[in-house]
Amino acid sequence: MPFLRVDGLAKRFGAAAAVDGVSLAIERGEVLALLGPSGSGKTTTLRLLAGFETPDAGQVIVDDLDVTRAPPVTRRFGMVFQHYALFPHLDVRGNVGFGLESVDVTGAELERRVAAALELVDLAGFERRRIAQLSGGQQQRVALARALAPEPRVLLLDEPLSNLDPALRERTRRELHDLIHRIGITTVLVTHEQEEAFDLGDRVAVLRSGRLEQVGTPDELYGAPANPFVAGFVGRASTMEGMVVAVLEGGTRVLAEGIEWGVPADAGVQKGLVPGQPVRVLLRPEALWMAQPQPGTLGAVVEARRFAGATSLFLVRTDGGTLLEVSGAGRPVAVGHRVGLVPSRRAGGGIHLFPVEP
């Protein structure tokens, strides 16, 4: 029995559907990341969970209790806002103690629990600081402590790291990850950054235009994307047009750019494909290998080298005119060189087939 359940949630703003029939089931203590581009409805979904918006249809059920119409005051959901929404006229203690005062915690007990919440986010002794005196990272942690202090049933995080500078973001992400897993609170977070979603979420829900595209662990989303959108949004991928040649026990063979490619059966999504069917072939950068140009390989010219590092990403144009992204580990290939592309040694891993919609 999931702890937090969302059934067929829908919300329109005027003519536009912000959330369009989203259903989710989240186990107790699980961390779910809502991932999607801007306008995908992820923030609206979070606000529906928090009770700041009332859905046009659907239900929010927590701990077997329908809270769809319950005002936020009674939900006991802790929320960390994108811009933190710390009360600027109160000090750290006033902010963190605010939710405790709502449930009539006072005196020494209040002080103790405020101190405990601050301890949790590594800000022990910060009670008397004014909000304006805190750095961005500290403000984020105070916001977290404030949300956690009243011991909410569910923790909601709206783009929790987007307001931090990149150097701080990575470290804060680790700390946040450790904290929410340590206290084991059921968490829903919203982000448009795939890395953030994959790192923080036990499972990730990919949203597009208010609709749920796929829910799964990061491995499932990357290894077996349900559709070209998920494949393209999660990780990097280039596309070739192709045609199914044969559907075999061990996998599918497909012809694209004049080369026959093998796609193992466990990559999913090729159920129901028949020989002769046109397909879209999605290639992860690591699916291809750059060899010497020779017969049997896919001829291509290196057009650009994206960024240097342990593995550079190369932009190559095939003889058929398609632009592909290929990761080339360590191989010194200069721009303008001719290469021959072959499936990498991972035996067809990172190739996904999707039927072309008529």
Partner 1 sequence: MAAAGVRATRPGRLVAAVLLLALGWLVVYPLGLVLLESVHSAGTWTAAYLRQFAARSSEWHALWGSLWISVASVGLAGLVGIPLAVLVTRYEFPGRRLLAGVIALPVVLPPLVGVIAFLFLYGESGFIARAVQSLLALDEAPWRLEGAGAILLVHAYSMYVYFYLFTRAALLSLDGSMLEAAASLGAGRWRTVRRVVFPALRPALAGGALLTFMAALASFSAPYVFGGGFRVMTTQIVSTRLNGETALAMVETVSLTALALLALVIFRGAEREVGGSKGTPPAPVRLASPWLRRGLAALSWSLGAVLLLPHLTLLVVSFVPVGTWTTEAIPPAWTLGNYATLVRDPVRLRPLVNSLWLATTATVASVAISVLAGALIVRRRVPGRRLLEGLLALPWAVPGTVFAIALATAFSVHAPWSGRIILVGTVWILPLAYLVRNLPLTSRATLAGFRALDPSLDEAAASLGAGRWRTLRTVTVPLLRPSLVAGATLAFVTALGDFVTSIVLYTYDTRPISLEILASLRQADVGVAAAYGVVLMAVSALVFALGAGRGGSGIA
- Near partner 1 by CB under 8 A, which window of 6-14, 95-103, 110-118, 170-178? 95-103
Nearer to partner 1, 130 or 331 (CB): 130
Residue 102 found at the interface with partner 1 (CB under 8 A): yes
Q: Nearer Cβ to partner 1, position 99 or 201?
A: 99
Sign of CA dihedral 233, 227, 214, 269: negative
Query: For partner 1, how many residues bind (rule: CB under 8 A)?
Result: 32
Which of 152/355 has CB closer to partner 1?
A: 152
Nearer CB in complex with partner 1: 146/280: 146
* The only residue of 21, 72, 223, 232 in contact with partner 1, by rule CB under 8 A: 72
- Are the C-beta atoms of 50 and 67 separated by less than 8 Å? no
> Least Å distance between CB 317 and partner 1?
42
Strands (E), 49-185: 57-62, 65-66, 77-80, 154-158
Burial of 236 (0-12, 13-18, 19+ CB in 10 A): middle
Q: What are phi and psi of 354, to 5 degrees?
A: -130, 135
Q: Pick from 71, 136, 250, 258: which binds partner 1 (CB under 8 A)?
A: 71
Q: CB 132 → partner 1: shortest distance, Å? A: 5
Closest by CA to 341, choosing from 261, 247, 251, 222, is: 261
Q: Which of 36, 41, 51, 299 binds partner 1 (CB under 8 A)?
A: 51
Number of neighbouring beta carbons within 10 Å of residue 350: 21
Q: Which stretch binds partner 1 (CB under 8 A): 59-67, 70-78, 315-323, 339-347?
A: 70-78
- 55 versus 299: smaller Cβ distance to partner 1: 55
229 near partner 1, rule: CB under 8 A = no
Cβ 73 to partner 1, closest distance in Å?
5
Smaller CB distance to partner 1: residue 52 or 258?
52
Structure token digits, residue 332: 């010194």
Residue 126 found at the interface with partner 1 (CB under 8 A): no
Q: Which of residues 130-159 bind partner 1 (CB under 8 A)?
A: 130, 132, 146-147, 150, 156
Select the residue interacting with partner 1 from 85, 248, 304, 347 (CB under 8 A). Answer: 85
Where in 163-192 is the site for partner 1 (CB under 8 A)?
A: none
Nearer to partner 1, 133 or 217 (CB): 133
13 forms part of the interface with partner 1 (CB under 8 A): no
**CA–CA separation, 346 vs 288, rounded Å?**
9
Contact in structure between 42 and 36 (CB atoms under 8 Å): yes
Cα distances from 120 to residues 41, 93, 116, in angstroms, run 31, 14, 6
CA dist 273 and 254 (Å) reads 11
93 binds partner 1 (CB under 8 A): no
Nearer to partner 1, 96 or 237 (CB): 96
Q: Let me know if 55 is exposed, middle or buried by CB neighbors in 10 A (0-12, 13-18, 19+).
A: buried
In this structure, the number of other CB atoms found within 10 A of the CB of residue 358 comes to: 4
**Interface with partner 1 (CB under 8 A), residue from 18, 33, 50, 244:** 50
Cβ-contact 291, 342 below 8 angstroms: yes
The window from 35-43, 66-74, 202-210, 302-310 that contacts partner 1 (CB under 8 A) reads: 66-74
Is 89 a residue that touches partner 1 (CB under 8 A)? yes
- Beta strands, E only, the chain: 4-13, 16-26, 31-35, 57-62, 65-66, 77-80, 154-158, 186-191, 203-208, 211-216, 238-247, 251-256, 259-264, 278-283, 288-291, 298-305, 311-318, 323-329, 338-343, 351-355
- The answer to whether 115 touches 165, Cβ cutoff 8 Å, is no
By CB under 8 A, name the one of 60, 79, 237, 300 that touches partner 1. Answer: 79
Binding site for partner 1 (CB under 8 A): 50-54, 71-79, 81-83, 85-89, 98-99, 102-103, 130, 132, 146-147, 150, 156
